[in-house]
């Protein structure tokens, strides 16, 4: 008869079985609980997932940008009593823009600032436009000649649009022409653009041609100077633009100075150059007016010399025209040319 196994043998067998099946049972228990845990957990959206992610790093500029505040404004400086030019210099130095208006008055010295907008000591943004008002002479004692084209050479090429006209603006260029004139181009001030035509815009960059003639003791202004000119408003058919030609007076607006000078009554050509007969726009020496002596052309194919009594010389191009007081001077400069006395 076989009895039960010894007690020690039975215990050892039980321990072996526990060691083999314990981990398996634990794994089965955990897998059974996982669905239940998932069901109890709230769903996680994509937005929530992205919100939990760390934000991307951004670089900080250095030095850091400081927002503009009222402290960035500038104060309009005091310019009352300054000249127009001085006031503009002060305002531009403070970071402001300017517009200048000129008003005739006898209550203030000509050429001085009498008003400002915005007013002085006002806080404004940099670049603000400040309008300054400058006094002009109340009524300069000017006389308009009875001949609107007095002293003009080749006056037939000019069509008079208006006599005794004031025009004002800023000088943009100055040219000493071959005929002795000074062409002073003046860009129009406020309210004066109507003096220009299409030729002024296409050929003179939006400026009006004003002419100081030979023998006329008027001051030649500087580029950038603000002036008013008084004279005859004309259209130059040869060039196709408008002009103030001749000028009777020049007023320097920023100082209030007015100079009034008429040209010589007898039109001359190149009398201001003092050049020889072969020079540009000159006379052949001696002392004579444009209505005396002889004319010829320096163009290579020209072959005639004209006395002033022959009107055909008016057909010569002003670019090549040469004037001489005597026939001997003309022949010495251009030997072999014939004299054309017919007219």
Structural domain boundaries of the chain? 71-136, 155-260, 269-343
pLDDT of 135: 87
Residue partners of 19: CB distance under 8 A and separation at least 6:
none
Instruction: Say if pTM beats, i.e. exceeds, 0.75.
Output: no
Mean pLDDT for 95-112 is 86
Output the six-digit token pair for 282. 């000159």
Comparing 142 with 59, the larger pLDDT belongs to 142
- Copy the structure tokens of residue 101: 């208006």
| Region for 44 from its dihedrals, namely left if φ exceeds 0, alpha if ψ lies in -120 to 50, beta otherwise | beta
Mean pLDDT check: name the lowest of 70-79, 88-97, 241-250: 70-79
pLDDT of res. 66: 47
Q: What is the mean pLDDT of the chain?
A: 77
Q: Which two tokens stand for residue 227?
A: 């002036």
Q: Which residue has the higher pLDDT, 241 or 272?
A: 241
Q: Kindly indicate the confidence band of residue 166, based on its pLDDT and cuts at 50, 70 and 90.
A: very high
206-217 residue pLDDT tens: 999 999 988 888
For the chain, give the longest Cα–Cα distance.
178
- Class of the CATH-defined domain 71-136: alpha beta
Q: In the structure, what pLDDT confidence band is assigned to residue 27 with cuts at 50, 70 and 90?
A: low
Tell me if the bond preceding 72 is cis, omega within 30° of 0: no
Residue with tokens 């321990």: 15
CA 306 to CA 330: how far, in whole Å? 10
Nearest to 191 by CA among 170, 167, 209: 167
Please state the rounded mean pLDDT for residues 254-277. Answer: 65
- Give the residue carrying structure tokens 């010829």: 296
Q: How far is CA 331 from CA 156, 287, 304, 338, in A?
A: 29, 17, 10, 9
Give the whole-number percent of the chain exceeding pLDDT 90: 28
Identify the band that residue 85 occupies on the pLDDT scale cut at 50, 70 and 90.
Answer: confident
Q: What is the mean pLDDT of residues 241-246?
A: 94
Dihedral over alpha carbons 196, 198, 201, 204 (to 10 degrees): -80
Query: Nearest-CA neighbor of 213 among 176, 168, 166?
Result: 176
CB atoms near residue 100 (< 10 Å): 20
- Is the distance from CB of 305 to CB of 337 less than 8 angstroms? yes
SS (H, E, C) the chain: CCCCCCHHHHHHHHHHHHHHHHHHHHHHHHHHHHHHHHHHCCCCCHHHHHHHCCCCCCCCCCCCCCCCCHHHCEECCCCCCCEHHHHHHHHHHCCCEEEEEEEECCCCCCCEEEEEECCCCCEECCCCEEEEEEEECCCCCCCCCCCCCCCCCCHHHEEEEEEEEEEEEEEEEEEECCCCCEEEEEEECCCCHHHCCHHHHHHCCCCEEEEECCCCCCCCCCCCCEEEEEEEEEEECCCCEEEEEEEEEEEECCCCEEEECCCCCCCCCCCCCCCCCCCCCCECCCCCCCCCCEEEECCCCCCEEEECCCHHHHHCCCCCEEEECCHHHHHHHCCCCEECCCC
Number of Cβ within a 10 Å radius of residue 242: 23
pLDDT bin (cut points 50, 70, 90) of residue 130 is very high
Q: Which fold has domain 155-260?
A: OB fold (Dihydrolipoamide Acetyltransferase, E2P) (2.40.50)
pLDDT per residue as tens digits for the range 281-321: 444 444 555 567 888 887 778 889 988 888 888 777 766 67
Average pLDDT score over residue span 270-277: 37
Q: Which residues contact 9 (CB under 8 A, 6 or more apart)?
A: none
Instruction: Please write the tens of the pLDDT for every residue from 190-202.
Output: 889 999 999 999 9
Higher-scoring residue by pLDDT: 47, 142: 142
């Amino acid at each position: 008869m076989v009895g039960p196994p010894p007690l020690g043998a039975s215990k050892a067998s039980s321990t072996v079985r526990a060691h083999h099946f314990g981990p398996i049972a634990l794994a089965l228990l955990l897998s059974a609980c996982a669905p239940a845990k998932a069901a109890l957990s709230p769903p996680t959206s994509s937005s929530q997932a992205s919100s939990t992610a760390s934000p991307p790093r951004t670089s900080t500029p250095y030095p850091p940008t400081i927002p503009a505040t009222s402290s960035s404004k500038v104060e309009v400086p005091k310019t009352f009593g300054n000249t127009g030019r001085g006031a503009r210099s002060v305002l531009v130095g403070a970071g402001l823009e300017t517009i200048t208006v000129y008003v005739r008055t006898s209550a203030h010295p000509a050429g001085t600032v009498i008003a400002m907008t915005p007013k002085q000591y006002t806080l404004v943004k940099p670049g603000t436009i400040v309008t300054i008002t400058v006094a002009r002479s109340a009524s300069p004692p000017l006389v308009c000649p009875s001949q609107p084209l007095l002293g003009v050479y080749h006056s037939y090429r000019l069509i008079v649009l208006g006599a005794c006209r004031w025009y004002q603006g800023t000088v943009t260029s100055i040219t000493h022409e071959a005929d002795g004139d000074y062409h002073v181009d003046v860009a129009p001030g406020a309210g004066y653009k109507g003096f220009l035509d299409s030729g002024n815009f296409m050929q003179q960059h939006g400026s009006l041609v004003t002419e100081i003639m030979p023998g006329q003791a008027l001051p030649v202004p500087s580029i950038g100077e603000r002036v008013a000119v008084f004279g005859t408003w004309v259209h130059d058919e040869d060039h196709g633009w408008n002009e103030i030609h001749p000028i009777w007076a020049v007023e320097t607006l920023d100082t209030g100075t007015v100079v009034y000078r008429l040209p010589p009554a007898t039109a001359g050509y190149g009398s201001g150059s003092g050049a020889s007969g072969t020079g540009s726009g000159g006379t052949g020496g001696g002392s004579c007016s444009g209505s005396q002596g002889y004319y010829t052309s320096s163009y290579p194919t020209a072959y005639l010399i004209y006395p002033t009594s022959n009107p055909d010389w008016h057909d010569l191009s002003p670019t090549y025209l040469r004037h001489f007081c005597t026939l001997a001077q003309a022949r010495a400069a251009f030997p072999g040319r014939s004299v054309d006395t017919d007219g």
